[in-house]
Amino acid sequence: MKRKQQMEIPPKLVLLILSFICIVLLVTTMIFSKSIPVLNTICGTVIIPMEKGINSIGDFVCERIQNVKNSKQLREENKKLKEKVSDLTREVKSLESDQVELDNLRKLYALDRKYEDYATVGARIIAADNSNWYSTFTIDKGTDDGIQVDMNVIAGDGLVGIVYSVGNNYSKVRSIIDDTSFVSAMFSTTTDNCLVNGDLKSIEDGYITVDHVSKDARVNDGDELITSNVSSKFLPGITIGYVSDIELDSNNLTKSGKVIPVVDFKHLEEVLVITQLKITGDEEKKE
């Protein structure tokens, strides 16, 4: 069985009716109160309190109407404020993204100045083959931009890797942390040669490996490793990283240890490609 809908009387109509009753009573009081003493007494004891009650009801209704208006206004203001906060949030995110890109470009500019003897082309990474590390990745520059196989790639504070495949408008890069990568290197302080090997397992702990260090090499933790003059593919003097935990091998002829790369291989976005190939007469040498 359906409930009967309760008829709601608008507050304004209630106020209007009560006001009308009040006016009628006031007029009656003014006309008859002096001529009829009993009516005057009744007016004093009944009508006046009724007037106060009516006034109270009127004040209540007016206050409620005002509250409704204020509530509506507050809702509109709240909606506008939410929209403004949303706009400001988008602006902040955009500014943060721009700041990150600006910082990256500043680093690339500083790197370009560091290796100003080498001509470079800026490129953006558009794909990566490893979800966790940029061991191999694709950039948005290719033969149309003068990129060739075996060109060196740098970012951050030093060496990223080398171009191993090129298309018209893209190139693929193998970084020095890849398991198949090896770089002929030397210590900047002693010029002793060594070999830096990529290792995707050890890079999880923040390092790759270095070996074939002469047992007589006077090297210490924190010494800088740079690309060697004898490398057939890497240009000389590019920073690779800093060594640690150098120890004598079991053969008592060489030393090995760890290399902390100067490049953050988890957060690469832009790189510089050195548009110059290492010139050597021996194509059989190691990288």
Domain boundaries, the chain: 11-70, 120-274
Residue 156 has pLDDT above 80, yes or no: yes
Among the listed residues 60, 118, 86, 46, the one whose alpha carbon sits nearest the alpha carbon of residue 272: 118
Among the listed residues 153, 155, 178, 154, the one whose alpha carbon sits nearest the alpha carbon of residue 163: 153
pLDDT above 90 covers a percentage of the chain that reads 52
Other C-beta atoms closer than 10 Å to the C-beta of 32 total: 14
Residue 115 has a pLDDT of 83
| Fold exhibited by the domain 120-274 | Thrombin, subunit H (2.40.10)
Q: Determine the 3-state secondary structure of 186 from DSSP.
A: strand
- The owner of tokens 């990223």 is 160
* Cα distance between the two ends of the chain: 90
Residue 113 has a pLDDT of 74
**pTM greater than 0.75:** no
Among the listed residues 265, 275, 274, the one whose alpha carbon sits nearest the alpha carbon of residue 125: 265
Mean pLDDT, to the nearest integer, of 241-269? 94
Strand 239-248 and strand 224-227: the pairing is antiparallel
Axis crossing angle, helix 48-114 with helix 11-32, rounded to the nearest 10:
150
pLDDT above 70 covers a percentage of the chain that reads 70
Residue 221 has a pLDDT of 93
Residue 283 has pLDDT above 50, yes or no: no
Residue 40 has pLDDT above 70, yes or no: no
Q: Is the Cα dihedral 65, 71, 75, 76 positive or negative? A: positive
Residue 152 has pLDDT above 70, yes or no: yes
Mean pLDDT, to the nearest integer, of 12-30? 70
Residue 100 has a pLDDT of 55
Residue 39 has pLDDT above 80, yes or no: no
Q: Is 228 exposed, middle or buried (0-12, 13-18, 19+ CB in 10 A)?
A: buried
- Which one is predicted more confidently, 181 or 106? 181
Other C-beta atoms closer than 10 Å to the C-beta of 153 total: 26
Alpha helices in the chain (DSSP H): 11-32, 37-42, 48-114
Q: Is the Cα dihedral 138, 144, 147, 149 positive or negative? A: positive
**What are the structure tokens assigned to 82, written together?**
């939410």
Of 25-29, 83-87, 222-226, 281-285, the one with minimum mean pLDDT is 281-285
What is the radius of gyration, based on Cα positions, of the chain? 42
The type of residue at 271 is: V
Other C-beta atoms closer than 10 Å to the C-beta of 114 total: 15
